[in-house]
Chain A
Amino acid sequence: KNQVEQSPQSLIILEGKNCTLQCNYTVSPFSNLRWYKQDTGRGPVSLTIMTFSENTKSNGRYTATLDADTKQSSLHITASQLSDSASYICVVSALGSASKIIFGSGTRLSIRP
């Protein structure tokens, strides 16, 4: 069964600190993996997209890694800011129909001043 699991479910850190969010998946055959940021009450916004051959991709203070062998991805946020408070969603696409885009339940990140 194609699944995407994220951890932790929620996380609270102090402003300026770093954090890492985890995503494990069992989607097969794998096509790509994306990380999205979703502010409360808003639509998700794309942060990174990685294919099988890519191990890491950065977008400003966000760095995503992908280990296709262990089927794990992480999103590292450096020097967190209050505006980073949001849900971070891991999305994995499988080859096949469009329904093979599987969303994780997200990690709710709260940054405290």
Chain B
Amino acid sequence: GAGVSQSPSNKVTEKGKDVELRCDPISGHTALYWYRQSLGQGLEFLIYFQGNSAPDKSGLPSDRFSAERTGGSVSTLTIQRTQQEDSAVYLCASSLASREDTIYFGEGSWLTVV
């Protein structure tokens, strides 16, 4: 696609429910990143994919968070048993091969846990 596409753009969920956030990177980009941005805060690294493998999961805040990537393209970030502190914008980004290349961001998925 022309840019990084994320869905849903907005999600309101009840505490304790599971949510799935989807990211469709720019076609041909092998590197994919997930970040989280709380209101008024900086970006927090979550996970990095190179192809379908995730060499760096160090940013996942708890075992309630998981992510996968299939076919070297679409990625899904899953949050189980959501908590109110999970409320944030979840940003996906992709780059051609590595972090040396320009990183392009999607518009984010705004998650609100009530």
Most buried by A among B55, B100, B103: B103
Please encode chain A, from 29 to 50, with 1 for each CB lying within 8 Å of some chain B CB and 0 for all others: 0011010100000111110010
A13 at the interface (CB under 8 A from B): no
With contacts A43-B108, A105-B42 known, is A32 near B55, CB below 8 A? Answer: no
Known contacts A46-B102, A103-B42, A106-B42; A97/B108 CB under 8 A: no
Contacts of B102 in A (CB 8 A): 34, 46, 49
Interface residues on A, range: 20 to 34
A93, B103: Cα distance in complex, Å: 11
Q: Mark A45-80, 1 if CB is under 8 A from B, else 0.
A: 110010000000000000000000000000000000
Q: Kindly identify which residue among B55, B91, B100 contacts A97, using a CB–CB cutoff of 8 Å.
A: B55
- A residues in contact with B48, CB < 8 Å: 97-99
Q: Are B104 and A98 in contact (CB under 8 A)?
A: no
Contact B33 A98 (CB under 8 A): yes
Closest to B101 in A: A49
Interface size on B, residues (CB 8 A): 25
Q: Is the CB of B43 within 8 A of A103?
A: yes
Query: Considering the chains assembled together, what is the distance between the CA atoms of A81 and B106 in angstroms?
Result: 24
B75 to chain A, nearest CB (A): 14
Measured CA separation A101–B108 after assembly (Å): 18
Q: Are B59 and A99 in contact (CB under 8 A)?
A: yes
Residues of A within 8 Å of B31, CB to CB, are 98
Q: Which residue of B lies closest to A49 (CB)?
A: B102
Residue of A nearest to B58 (CB): A99
Taken residue by residue from 92 to 114, chain B's Cβ proximity to chain A (1 for < 8 Å, 0 otherwise) reads as 01000001101111111000000
Inter-chain contacts of A42 with B (CB < 8 A): 107-108
Interface residues as binary, B34-53 with A (CB distance below 8 Å gives 1, 0 otherwise): 01000001110100101000
Known: A43-B4, A105-B42. 13 other contacts (CB 8 A): A31-B100, A43-B107, A44-B43, A46-B104, A49-B102, A93-B100, A97-B48, A97-B58, A98-B33, A98-B99, A103-B42, A103-B45, A105-B41
- Residues of B at the A interface (CB closer than 8 Å) are 4, 31, 33, 35, 41-43, 45, 48, 50, 55-56, 58-59, 91, 93, 99-100, 102-108
